[in-house]
Amino acid sequence: MKNKKIPKATAKRLSLYYRYLNILHEDGKTRVSSSELSEAVKVDSATIRRDFSYFGALGKRGYGYDVEELMNFFSHILNQDHLTHVALIGVGNLGHALLNFNFRKNNNIRISAGFDIKEELIDTVYHGVPIYSVDDMVEQLNIQSIDVAILTVPADIAQETANKLVEGGIKGILNFTSMRLSVPKEVRVHDVDLTNELQTLIYFINYYKDIEDLNKANEE
């Protein structure tokens, strides 16, 4: 297996490309150019071509890319043929929403276990997902050989819960808590920081307003 180094920035766009290729395929399109795709995914066409080229010559000059071929290629790259079992830690408001969320539209991802401390949740089944006690978490993670966890617990127990996840042999954590986690370097953490996203958006809006004001002021 060829193993050129794929830049992080490129890797983060692969899933997006794959999704839009699926849409094009469903719409019956057979070919697509980098500039067409660029309009859809809002990524510069040169960046798209560059991204694709890390995986070899996938298109044809003067023609573009074959939608189905490219889709199948990315399907493989993104492990669509292998089912990844995911655990949901903390079945509160957000956890609940994520259980119901369309991850299953991607048939390579399945939330196969939930964990919580609330007695009334333990040993129940939500949306087809059994909920266990956090006390049994390390054990269950091992038994079910789960290696990805979605963390949606309160901030004050985020780190200790992460420690247990590591103990349970987890390889990746999608961290929705407001805390930054300390984990061994072989465990990968992706932060989804909703408060930060919203605050940053607001900052940018105000910042750009200032810039516009400044531009007006500079017309002297």
Partner DNA sequence: ACTTAATTGTTAAAAACAAAACAAGTATCA
Partner DNA sequence: TGATACTTGTTTTGTTTTTAACAATTAAGT
Tokens of 93: 């408001």
Spatial contact of 134 and 116, defined as CB atoms under 8 Å apart? yes
Q: Is 8 in the site for DNA (CB under 7 A)?
A: yes
Closest by Cα among 88, 79, 217 to 152: 88
Coil vs helix vs strand at 184: coil
Residue number with CB closer to its own copies (135 or 206): 206
- The option from DNA, its own copies, none interacting with 58 (CB < 5 to 8 A, set by class) reads DNA
Q: Is 185 in the site for DNA (CB under 7 A)?
A: no
Phi/psi for 82 (5° steps) reads -125, 130
Q: How far is the CB of 166 from its own copies (least distance, A)?
A: 14
Q: Which residues form the interface with its own copies (CB under 8 A)?
A: 1, 3, 6, 11-12, 14-16, 18-19, 40-42, 77-79, 84, 86, 93-94, 96-98, 100-103, 105-106, 108-109, 147-148, 150, 171-172, 174, 178, 180, 182, 186, 188, 190, 192-208, 210-211, 214
Closest by Cα among 156, 198, 194, 199 to 175: 194
User: Using CA atoms, how far apart are residues 102 and 106, in angstroms rounded to an integer?
Assistant: 8
Closest by Cα among 57, 59, 61, 44 to 9: 44
- The option from its own copies, DNA, none interacting with 46 (CB < 5 to 8 A, set by class) reads DNA
Tokens 């990746």 label which residue? 172
Coil vs helix vs strand at 132: strand
Tell me which residues in 31-60 interact with DNA (CB under 7 A): 32-35, 43-47, 49-50, 52-53, 57-60
- The option from DNA, its own copies, none interacting with 47 (CB < 5 to 8 A, set by class) reads DNA
Residue number with CB closer to its own copies (61 or 219): 219
